[in-house]
Structure 1
């Protein structure tokens, strides 16, 4: 893991006016070139690829791009915190709300406690790509209601590191409160 920190000090405006000392100074702009970041293929299952953009272990928040092939879905899941989804291309819906499809340009807010199952229609003519921000965990269940898994920031970081290593790619994302970047494959190190 590579982390770059700047020592605390005075920050000034572009005109040179002093600003209060900040708790976590930011010496560099934190950004990801999405086009240079490889997809982690089948990260969430067949036809469900991800690009982690930010994984914050301390706040248990994560931001990623999801690419879903036509006709795939995720297990039914319960959100312990809020989630936000902005659809960039394609079409998807929650099986519980088939008359509310999300298409390119749709923004969806999910409050804590939401329960639903993500699905892309088999007749989609393109992959569905969505920007997803989650706070907390997704508690996933099988179709029969039995426990499947938990996906939170810790699990996602571990999974992304393992997949990057297994797929021979370098996946880079913004680490949470460390105000730095992590490059993988390095599996799960801290």
Structure 2
């Protein structure tokens, strides 16, 4: 880190960057209350009766998405293979993969490498699990022997959110603000 003048020598006020931003740079994205448990329920896009996600960033240009997954049931959620790396931060509850001996508990960070195949389970004593996932590439859903049964990526997430928001009075301009 280089040392530079951080305050105006005359006023003593902090100095912001004075140059131009790089050409083509996207605007910053800030979502106030992203972790607010009492947010508008319509922001949660259902995937099934007890599983939903809240999109935070849908990067169609880079092929990744960031969302909060909320599960309000116990049992097996999905078996899938990762086409790219996944970063996860468990916000509430706990979960694990049947194929691994670690548990993702509240406050835990986990990294899942590309190619990993595993089966997500939420245990019986967890009424609600919420995890922030940063997913690059796709989830390829597979049967117990590895045969593909479905795919989920930034484009399918965007399509699901677009249908849900349009049907539930959330302006599509809100969703468009999450697309990069």
Please tell me the TM-score bracket, short chain as reference: 0.7 to 0.9
Structure 2 unpaired stretches of 5+:
1-13
- 2:46 aligned to which of 42, 53, 57: 42
1:157 aligns to what? 158
Query: What is the Cα deviation at residue 21 of structure 1?
Result: 4.3
Aligned CA RMSD, in angstroms, stands at 2.3
Relative contact order higher in (CA < 8 Å, ≥ 6 apart): 1
Aligned length: 158
- 2:120 aligned to which of 102, 118, 121: 118
Contact 2:45 2:160 in 1 (8 A): no
TM-score normalized by the length of structure 2: 0.77
Structure 1 unpaired stretches of 5+:
1-13, 177-190
> What SS does the corresponding residue of 2:158 show, helix, strand or coil?
helix
Contact 1:70 1:123 in 2 (8 A): no
Are the structure 2 counterparts of residues 142 and 175 from structure 1 closer, same or farther at C-alpha, using a change threshold of 3 Å?
A: same
> What SS does the corresponding residue of 1:139 show, helix, strand or coil?
strand
1:112-160 deviation line (CA, Å, top 9, x unaligned):
1111111101222x31111100011111113464422111111110111
Query: What is the Cα deviation at residue 101 of structure 1?
Result: 1.4
Contact 2:87 2:112 in 1 (8 A): yes
Q: Distance in 2 between matches of 1:96 and 1:16?
A: 49
Contact 1:93 1:120 in 2 (8 A): yes
TM-score normalized by the length of structure 1: 0.73
Q: Which structure has the larger Rg?
A: 2
- 2:110 aligned to which of 99, 108, 111: 108
Are the structure 2 counterparts of residues 142 and 165 from structure 1 closer, same or farther at C-alpha, using a change threshold of 3 Å?
A: farther
1:32 aligns to what? 31
